[in-house]
Amino acid sequence: MHEGLQQARAPTFDVPSALEVMLTGSYQRLPRCIEDIGSQNKLSPDEEKHALQKLDTSVRYKVLVTPRPKEVSSISVTDGVAVFRVDGEFKVLLTLGYRGNLDLWRILHMELLVGEKNGPIKLGEIRRFALGDDIERRMAVSENPFSVLYAILHELSISLAMDTIIRQANVLRHGRWKEAISSERISDSTTGQTGNAAVMQLGQDGEFDSSGFRLPVLKLNYWLDGKNSGPAESDLSPFIKIEAGQDMQIKCQHSSFILDPLTDKEANLSLDLSCIDVEKLILKAIACNRHTRLLDIQRQLCKNVQISQSPKDVVLKRDVGVAKAPHKKTEKASFADFCGNEVLQVRAYGQAYIVLGVNIRSGRFILQSPKNILPPSALVDWEEALNKGSNTATEVFSSLRTRSILHLLVSTGSFFGLKVANCLNNIVMSLFLNLISRCSIIIPLI
């Protein structure tokens, strides 16, 4: 009797049914009463098509009557699914039927478009579902559901973008740029929340809290190479300020007025949130600042009749392809590729030029010329004077032009075996140089 009780307590396994499921993938022995209350068959193709058309009409009507923020790039409806898109930030697929109510919006899919070169930022599946559920509930009780959707995802996108910008700046500062740049979080914005905080909150309780957080403001200084790393040098160096304004849009402001070398208009510094590249932003700021400084010197030199007698005497030189078609840009070419080698060429005599450039890391002026035009020592001395500001650009190039002509005379005399006097009459030399500068003959370059 005891053994019988033990067997009665043991579970009874339906071995035949288990084998049927394993071998055929189906279960034919389901009782009739359970089949009757089970799921119904699918809609026929005609019924499915009719239902889809009806849903599509309802979604289109709902999209038309629902107010939407002006920042939304596009809303399209296809087969009952509305695609809500903000370029560079996010894309959401919506339909009607939240909790069985055909007047309320339901989120089918949500995707962030904020990212870097390696692609957009990915949210974890759990966090994405928690965020979507919270947005659905907020949209259900709001009179402007699209505004709620945009506000939450826009703030999240901007927060993640600022986090990415700060991280890239730190990587550049500890990487190949090193002491040439510095980054500093100078203050906090008064609106929004950081992406890390938002995602962390979602991971804990599934709620999206949009209050109490602040967005950082980043200050990027450049042209610091070879200078002291103290705060005084950083304050004097040019910088880019990156922040989210009151409208929660990321803005990039330069510390001084700079011109775009491609248009000669005020430069517009901005970031593509779908492919954030802080280094490209720094290179563009450097190219614009360099162009502005060289253009200012060019205008000074053009006012001097001894230095500039024709349009080709003082020329801003950049890549030939860009000079011919500055409006043509390729997707793969960066701004630095177009203006990376911009220099100012000043005629010394004939076809000989003295070249003025700007160091990309330190911002210092660099003077260059072939050795047969000027000795290197002369360039170093006047380069230092130009960087310190002890001499104007007009004084520097006037002196270099005089030295180059004297160097030419000495070289020519040596070639013919003539001896050069140690001292020359200043008045005679001045008249001679003035005569050369006024002559239109081309002195051959030796």
User: Where in the chain are the domains?
Assistant: 2-37, 41-255, 277-446
Confidence of residue 373 (pLDDT cuts 50, 70, 90): confident
Is 106:136 a contact under the CB 8 Å cutoff?
Answer: yes
Question: Cα–Cα distance between 15 and 330 in angstroms, integer?
Answer: 68
Range with the poorest average pLDDT among 274-288, 310-324, 396-410, 416-430: 416-430
**Sign of the C-alpha dihedral computed for residues 150, 156, 162 and 167 taken in this order:** negative
What pLDDT is stored for residue 363 in this prediction? Answer: 93
Looking at residue 427, what is its pLDDT? 46
Average pLDDT value for residue range 70-81: 92
Region 80-108 average pLDDT? 93
94: which 2 tokens? 């919506």
pLDDT, one tens digit per residue, over 272-325 is 999 999 999 999 999 999 999 999 999 999 998 888 888 889 999 875 443 334
CB 222 within 8 A of CB 180: yes
Look at 30 and 116; give whichever has higher pLDDT: 116
Percent of the chain with pLDDT over 70: 71
Number of helical (H) and strand (E) elements in the chain, helices listed first: 14, 14
Residue 68, number of CB atoms within 10 A of its CB: 16
Q: Which residue has the higher pLDDT, 80 or 195?
A: 80
Amino acid 375: pLDDT: 80
Examine the pLDDT at 358 and tell me if it is beyond 70: yes
Nearest to 110 by CA among 160, 299, 127: 127
Ordered DSSP codes for 30-96: --HHHHHHSPPPPPPHHHHHHHHHHHHHHHHHHHHHS---TT--EEEEETTEEEEEETTTEEEEEEE
Greater model confidence, 222 or 20: 222
Beta bridge partners, 349, equal: 352
State the Cα angle at 198 between 192 and 202, rounded to 5°.
145
What six digits make up the tokens of 391? 């001499």
Mean pLDDT, rounded, for 89-102 = 92
Bridge pairing between strands 250-254 and 239-244: antiparallel
